[in-house]
Amino acid sequence: MGDTLRLLRVLWSAGRGIAVVIAAIRLAERLIPAATAMVLALLVSRVTALGGTGEMGAALLPLTGFGVVLLVGHAAEAVTEPLAYLVQQRIDGAHRAAVTRLAASSPTIDLLEQPEAQRLIRQAKADPDEFSQRTPGQAALAQLDQLADAVGVAAACVVIAQFAWWLVPLLLIPALLNARLRYRGRMEFIRLWRSQLDVMVRVERWEETLASPGVGKDLRVFGLADWAVRRLDGQHVARTAPQFAVWKRNLRGQSRSLLLVVPPLLIAFTAVAALTVHGHGSVATATAALTAGASLFMMIDLGYTGLSRLAGLESLKAYDELAELLTKDTRRPLPGAALDRTDAGSSSLVRFEDVGFTYPGTTRAVLDGLNLEIRPGELLAIVGLNGAGKSTLIKLLAGLYEPTSGRILVRGNQEMGNQEMSELGVQAWRERISVVFQDFVKYELSAADNVTLGRPGVAPDKAVLEAAARDAGLGPVLDRLPDGWDTPLARSRTGGVDLSGGQWQQVVLTRALYALRTGAELLVLDEPTAHLDVRTEFEVFQRLAEQRAEAGVVLISHRLSTVRQADRIVLLDGGRITESGTHEELIAQGGGYAKLFAIQAERFQQGYQDAIEEGELL
């Protein structure tokens, strides 16, 4: 009962007016069989009463009624499909927005990365990618159909009972059993289908791989095409063979359906005919009973509506479980006090105090007792070997994760002074910083939107946009774009183009410089120039250092020849800061940084080029 009421509330959420209208139409559709039976009975009664007199006047009323019933049925059929589509889209659109809002409301990403959270998001997103899934909108409409079917069946039973009450159980019970039998057969197939989802995913990936232009090179060079096609065919056979077996069992089960349908109908029709011949009831009443009796078996069908209701409820319940999962973390930060925007630059002061961090589901501490101060107006470079925890440190600084131990202090308002980031409020802190991650997002938007997203809360400024592009060296790329700043950076968009890796990094650096010019007080760059050559990278960082003004800049780069111009360099090793100082000071110490720098300098002198390129624009 609770699920029924919930689905009715979901239907009501599409809009009171449209919900009432579609409910009335669906109800009218289900009452048409009973209405047809009654009108036909009246028509037969009037025609029989005329007794061959040739007078048609008495038959006009039932004929008109029969025409009205047919017209209502046709109109309902024409209107219900677009209305149902509108209702479903309203419900599913609101549900998808709720799922997105729920996922985005989590200030950190640790919970979202859990496999259970990913499973619930896929199930709750109401975007079915295979036929056994249904959306909440489809479930709400299916619930309405089941209620309307119940009313239609009750009306038909009332008509049948006018002839003889015992006809109702004689026809209704076999109809229900037949519907149940067909529902079980359909659900057996659905369970098998869902058990093969992993196989289906592998098949789809092989199909995409075989059609991919990039993979096509390997398939041809290494002669893998025939092997890959045979493997794909084998997976198709492995998936469809059990399905075919279930289909054959369901086909044999149709004989049981015939035994449930045909004998009761023959018995009922024969009994009605015999009783009518012997004077029990009129021909008109018999006609109504036979017409309504036949309609019972067509109205009672649990298959499609039952599946839609069940699968759609799974989507709603997955949303409930996702909400419970994302809100159970007691460390979830509360909205904090706003940062003091009048204290220029000071909000970029950050202190890591004995910070430790271990990724959820693992046991190795990536950061262990890390202490670091990020000062306003300072260009700080963080270096270290792969896996030292540099990117993890940036994620903590951006508030994407919370420390496992220790604390991160940031500058709050003048009254509160330094506060833990979780107490201040992650969202308030993020309004003051701009982050460029190593795996930055390539938005399929215009060039201008890709840059101004660096400061989404600030109104776009074309002059600042042009200045940032000039500083990042993006001008030559813009000159080659068909529509300049308005060109979509995706070939899949009309008039769009694809950029190379280096060109994309110039766009992202423009985004960073735009953030600096529009008031960001702390800029965080995680390997932002891996696709650029050393000379271009050096020029970009020089401009970055000149433009930072009072803002703090945190830079991670694997090229030590570039970070040497930083105000301070720290070496991250073993999850903690092991060296700190200027380039000259660290070289003089002769420690880990000096050794790494010497190795890179030797490789550079030998002509080693580590810029990664992916092809040119257009």
Q: Any idea what DSSP says for residue 348?
A: G
Residue 373 backbone dihedrals phi, psi, to 5 degrees: -115, 130
pLDDT digits (tens, 9 = 90+) for 387-419: 888 889 999 998 889 899 999 998 755 555 577
Provide the mean pLDDT of the chain. Answer: 80
pLDDT at 302: 67
Residue 332 lies in a domain: no
pLDDT digits (tens, 9 = 90+) for 312-354: 888 899 899 988 888 765 444 444 444 444 444 445 689 999 9
Long-range contacts formed by 122-128: CB under 8 A, 24+ apart: 123/314, 123/315, 123/318, 124/99, 124/315, 124/316, 124/318, 124/319, 124/322, 125/96, 125/99, 125/315, 126/92, 126/95, 126/96, 126/99, 126/315, 127/96
Report the alpha-carbon distance of residue 259 to residue 257 in Å, rounded: 5
Of residues 36, 47, 137, 122, the one with CA closest to residue 91: 137
DSSP characters for 44-89? HHHHHHHTT----HHHHHHHHHHHHHHHHHHHHHHHHHHHHHHHHH
Tokens of 261: 């349908």
Residue 544 lies in a domain: no
Q: Check whether 585 has a pLDDT greater than 90.
A: yes
Same domain assignment for residues 131 and 79: yes
Residue pair 390/382 in contact (Cβ under 8 Å)? The answer is: yes
Same domain assignment for residues 18 and 159: yes
Tokens of 314: 């799974």
Q: Check whether 559 has a pLDDT greater than 80.
A: no
**Ranges 170-174, 241-245, 533-537: which has the least confidence:** 533-537
Cβ within 8 Å of residue 388, ≥6 positions away: 572, 573, 574, 575
Same domain assignment for residues 146 and 175: no
Q: Which residue has the higher pLDDT, 138 or 186?
A: 138
pLDDT band at 308 (very low <50, low <70, confident <90, very high): confident
Same domain assignment for residues 154 and 169: no
Phi-psi sector, 240: left (phi>0), alpha (psi -120 to 50), beta:
alpha
Of residues 359, 489, 516, the one with CA closest to residue 435: 516
Report the alpha-carbon distance of residue 395 to residue 402 in Å, rounded: 9
Beta bridge partner(s), residue 524: 435, 554
Same domain assignment for residues 418 and 456: no
Same domain assignment for residues 30 and 144: yes
Domain of residue 454 covers 439-520
pLDDT digits (tens, 9 = 90+) for 492-549: 888 889 888 778 888 988 888 888 888 888 888 887 666 666 666 677 677 777 766 6
Burial class of residue 52 in the structure, from the number of CB atoms within 10 Å of its CB (0-12 exposed, 13-18 middle, 19+ buried) = exposed
Same domain assignment for residues 412 and 445: no
pLDDT digits (tens, 9 = 90+) for 447-485: 999 999 878 778 888 899 998 898 888 889 999 999 999
Same domain assignment for residues 138 and 250: no
Residue 608 lies in a domain: no
Same domain assignment for residues 354 and 317: no
Same domain assignment for residues 73 and 181: no
Same domain assignment for residues 101 and 130: yes
Same domain assignment for residues 172 and 271: yes
Where residue 576 sits, what CATH number does that domain have?
A: 3.40.50.300
Q: How many domains does the chain have?
A: 4
Residue 248 lies in a domain: yes
Residue 542 lies in a domain: no
pLDDT at 577: 93
